[in-house]
Amino acid sequence: MCTTITIEEAAAWLKEHDNFLILTHRRPDGDTIGCAGALAEGLQAAGKTAFVLHNPEITPRYSRFVAAYMAPEEYKQDHVIVVDTASYSQFPRNGEAFIGAVSLCIDHHPSNPRYAERNCLVDAASCGEIVYELLLRLSGGINAKAAESLYAAVSTDTGCFAFANTTADAHRVAAELIEAGAPHQKLNKLLFRTKTRSRILIESMINSGLEFYFDGAVAISSITREMMEAAGANEDDVDDIASLPGSVDGVLAGITIRELTSKEDCKVSVRTTQSINANQICARFGGGGHALAAGFSLEKTIPEIKKELLEALKEFFVTL
């Protein structure tokens, strides 16, 4: 039976149990990785046994936050915890074996269908804020290691507190994390003010290829594997790349379509303003997320996806 529980109830459950394995989502971002690292650190500090399942898609930018908590091959967990993961479809390949066997899901996505045995779902700008409150109730505080990971979680999911999802609570939690020892200056430089040459090149390709629709209200960028190869770009270089189309003046919905392993395997990211619901758009294609940031994946080509998207967007833009 799947139930919804509060942060207090989640903390009480963690106190009563042990031997945890923590999962992150596919193409992991700073929020899911930061939450996993902080939760593992917090549980270990509380005397529990807790490890993070290696995510094969993790990039060097974020691996530092979980490197010390990787589960040994022989580790046998009693309970599986999933963080910042809205659905089974977001489980990493090596985590699919745990579908139907999740003891606790900690998440902030409204589209989450409550797939775990226990679901701690809270409306927050980042999952990191939830894990922070959870650790406070578990141990009464957090150490500097957990604070560093959680600052990465909160800051990346809010775009260094510039995205529209940023709340006063996000700022308050960030301030408390800094007071707990998070090296915010170092992290801000690392996560937001440092770009590789490959990142600069891929951004220039995206900007020069932007397409506008609905009188400029929609901007669509396409990222092909050929573009990635030409720029010498890797996963770190396209972290948060989906925010670029929406930075254009007058754009209400910025959409990024990116080829993954083949020309017929694409990831679509949608970023919107308050007047357009990104979650509703992506739900048309079996995806989801937040009102202002959502996504989906399709095994179709970029032109095919673009055609279907533009047809679906008529419902949201023809009356504007």
| pLDDT over threshold 90, residue 268 | yes
Residues 6+ apart with CB under 8 A from 38: 65, 128, 131, 132, 135, 142, 145, 146, 147, 149, 150, 153
Structure tokens at 86: 């809205």
Beta bridge partners of 181: none
What is the dihedral sign for C-alpha 118, 120, 121, 127? negative
Quick one: what percent of the chain has pLDDT higher than 70? 99
Q: What is the DSSP letter of 96?
A: G
In whole numbers, what is the pLDDT of the chain averaged over residues? Answer: 95
State pTM to two decimals.
0.88
Query: In the predicted model, what is the mean pLDDT of residues 29-52?
Result: 98
Q: What CATH number has the domain bearing residue 39?
A: 3.90.1640.10
Q: What is the mean pLDDT of residues 295-313?
A: 96
> CA–CA separation, 184 vs 253, rounded Å?
30
pLDDT tens by residue, 114-159? 999 999 999 999 999 999 999 999 999 999 999 999 999 999 999 9
Which pLDDT does position 240 carry in this prediction? 87
Instruction: Give the total number of structural domains in the chain.
Output: 2
State yes or no: pLDDT of 261 exceeds 90: no
- Same domain for 150 and 254, yes or no, is no
**Residues 151 and 212 grouped into a single domain:** no
Query: For residue 320, is pLDDT > 70?
Result: no
Bridge pairing between strands 118-121 and 104-107:
parallel
Q: Answer with the residue of higher pLDDT: 193 or 318.
A: 193
Instruction: Output phi, psi for 136, to 5 deg.
Output: -60, -40
Say yes or no to pLDDT of 288 above 90. Answer: no
pLDDT of residue 72 exceeding 60, the answer is: yes
Sheet with 288-289, edge to edge strand ranges? 211-213, 218-223, 253-259, 266-272, 293-298, 288-289
pLDDT in tens, 199-237: 999 999 999 999 999 999 999 999 999 999 999 999 889
Q: What mean pLDDT is predicted for residues 238-248? A: 93
27-36, 174-183, 221-230, 231-240: least confident range = 231-240
End-to-end CA distance of the chain: 44
Name which of 161, 155, 166, 84 is nearest 125 in CA terms. 166
Query: Of 192, 210, 237, at which residue does a domain stop?
Result: 192
**Closest Cα partner for 71 from 81, 86, 61, 62?**
81
Mark whether 155 and 95 lie in a shared domain. yes
- Is the same domain home to 230 and 267? yes
What's the one-letter identity of residue 247?
S
What are the strands of the beta sheet with 20-23, ordered from one edge? Answer: 3-4, 118-121, 104-107, 79-83, 20-23, 50-52
Indicate whether 129 and 42 sit together in one domain.
Answer: yes
Tokens of 225: 């594997």
Q: Quick one: CA dihedral 275, 188, 120, 296, positive or negative?
A: positive
Q: Let me know: does 74 contact 49? Beta carbons within 8 Å.
A: no
Q: Are residues 162 and 48 in the same domain?
A: yes
Given 145, 167, 192, the domain boundary residue is: 192
Q: Same domain for 94 and 205?
A: no
Q: Which of 4-13, 81-90, 138-147, 289-298 has the lowest mean pLDDT?
A: 289-298
Give the lowest-confidence range in 66-70, 75-79, 314-318: 314-318
Q: Which domain does 242 fall in, by range?
A: 197-317
Say if residue 165 is in the same domain as residue 231: no
Q: Would you call 46 helix, strand, or coil by DSSP?
A: coil
One domain, residues 62 and 134: yes
pLDDT of residue 318: 72
Residues 43, 120 share a domain: yes
Same-domain check for residues 36 and 78: yes
* 162 Cβ contact list (under 8 Å, min separation 6): none
pLDDT value at position 1? 63
Mark whether 214 and 313 lie in a shared domain: yes
Residue 319 has pLDDT above 80, yes or no: no
